Amino acid sequence: MRSLLLVLILSTTTFGCGSKEGKETTDHPSVASSDPPLATGPHAADDKATEDLQAKRADEAKVADAKAAADAQAVKDHAASQTQLQASFDASDRRFNELKEKLAKMSAAKKAKANARVDDVKTNETTVMASIATLRDAKLPQWDAAKAKADSDFAAFNKSIDALEKAL
């Protein structure tokens, strides 16, 4: 047992002690070096996996940022489109109100003839207002469908106003 202990002490002191001057310059990389030391051994695979995971997460973050920017731009574009649609509806509604004022000044025979068209305009007006409200509340995925419906309803509203105007 003593001999094993002696061998252990000798091997530790022989291999463990050495000149620090020679080893510092050859074994350790310089502090001023910008390149990280290359990993070798069992940790190399872990380091590579960590780097790959970090690169993947950085790419995912870039994609998420790009999607958020695109969504923000889409929201701005949708708001501008909705504002323009609302302004067009308001202009058509004012045109309809002017026609109703003209109708009030007309004879009873012309009023009776135009009442069916006025009812048609009022129905289309209600439909357009509902479509605009749906468009206002629509989320990004459903917005295009809501916009198409609002546009078609608005076109029908304008056609019914045109028909009323011709009848007068």
Residues of the chain with pLDDT under 70: 1-8, 10-41
Q: How far apart are CA 102 and CA 117, in angstroms?
A: 14
DSSP assignment string, 75-121: HHHHHHHHHHHHHHHHHHHHHHHHHHHHHHTS-HHHHHHHHHHHHHH
- Does some domain include residue 36? no
12 part of a folded domain: no
* Residue 70, in any domain of the structure: yes
Q: Is 18 domain-assigned?
A: no
The whole-angstrom separation of Cα 133 and Cα 76 is 17
pLDDT at res. 33:
47
**Gap between the Cα atoms of 168 and 96, Å rounded:** 12
Whole-number pLDDT of residue 31: 47
Within-domain flag for 112: yes
CA distance 95 to 161: 8
Residue 66 falls inside a structural domain: yes
pTM: 0.61
Range of the domain at 134: 58-167
Within a domain: 125: yes
- Domain membership of residue 76 (yes or no) is yes
**What are the tens digits of pLDDT across the range 23-72?**
444 455 544 445 555 556 678 888 888 999 999 999 999 999 999 998 88
How many domains does the structure of the chain reveal? Answer: 1
